[in-house]
Chain A
Amino acid sequence: GAVVSQHPSWVICKSGTSVKIECRSLDFQATTMFWYRQFPKQSLMLMATSNEGSKATYEQGVEKDKFLINHASLTLSTLTVTSAHPEDSSFYICSATNSQETQYFGPGTRLLVL
């Protein structure tokens, strides 16, 4: 099946620093990638939709200047959490699709901001 990877799998940073998370589709070209955030015991919340070569579309309430998304190629999307604060601590998950029906998810990145 389709494989999506994320790097790093976990990161701890100081408040005020920026953190970049990479999402790669390893065996297919992803026309669209999605970024989600998940807090403990809750469902996944869609943050933004990213199409290769164009600006990401952010969901209502998600600050685009704080969560920078770049989708430079058909196999790579990055999410940068700028000036991270403790409330940004969460589990960040990306997904990728090469069709219009099925998303394949990465393993997630655990972010802890101290």
Chain B
Amino acid sequence: LAKTTQPISMDSYEGQEVNITCSHNNIATNDYITWYQQFPSQGPRFIIQGYKTKVTNEVASLFIPADRKSSTLSLPRVSLSDTAVYYCLVGDAGTGGFKTIFGAGTRLFVKA
């Protein structure tokens, strides 16, 4: 299983763009990269997923370089409600199902 490494915490201000980078040097060919957001006492919420290059949805963008050894979650114009823990997961999409191991996550604190 590919291990992920993220910054432990980040601070930002409302309206700024926040980029959180995750390292996954041992990513396998079948692995997808998925980011989740978790608020206290809630289950993680799916944000975005990608395999390579760039993916964008209504809440975030995900940038994945060609070697796929890292990925960057970009949150445009954050608000106070984006204060949460963000997890980068790398999942094995091989036959028989898959499992993912959570890293420590990045605690984002958005200030007014």
B93 — nearest CB in chain A belongs to which residue?
A100
Give how many B residues have a beta carbon under 8 Å from the other chain's beta carbons: 24
**Chain A positions within 8 Å of B49 at CB level:** 101-102
A49 adjacent to B45 (CB under 8 Å): no
In the assembled complex, the CB of A29 is this many whole angstroms from the nearest CB of chain B, namely 14
Check: B36 CB closer than 8 A to any chain A CB: yes
Size class of the A contact interface (CB-based, 8 Å): 20 to 34
B101 adjacent to A101 (CB under 8 Å): no
Check: A8 CB closer than 8 A to any chain B CB: no
A101 adjacent to B34 (CB under 8 Å): yes
Check: B76 CB closer than 8 A to any chain A CB: no
**Chain A positions within 8 Å of B98 at CB level:** 32, 97, 100-101
Check: B65 CB closer than 8 A to any chain A CB: no
**Chain A positions within 8 Å of B42 at CB level:** 107-108
Give Cα A6 to B42, complex, Å: 11
Given contact pairs A100-B97, A101-B32, enumerate 5 new A-B contacts (beta carbons under 8 Å). Answer: A6-B43, A46-B102, A102-B34, A105-B44, A105-B46
Residues of B within 8 A of A (CB): 32, 34, 36, 41-46, 49, 87, 89, 91, 93-94, 97-105
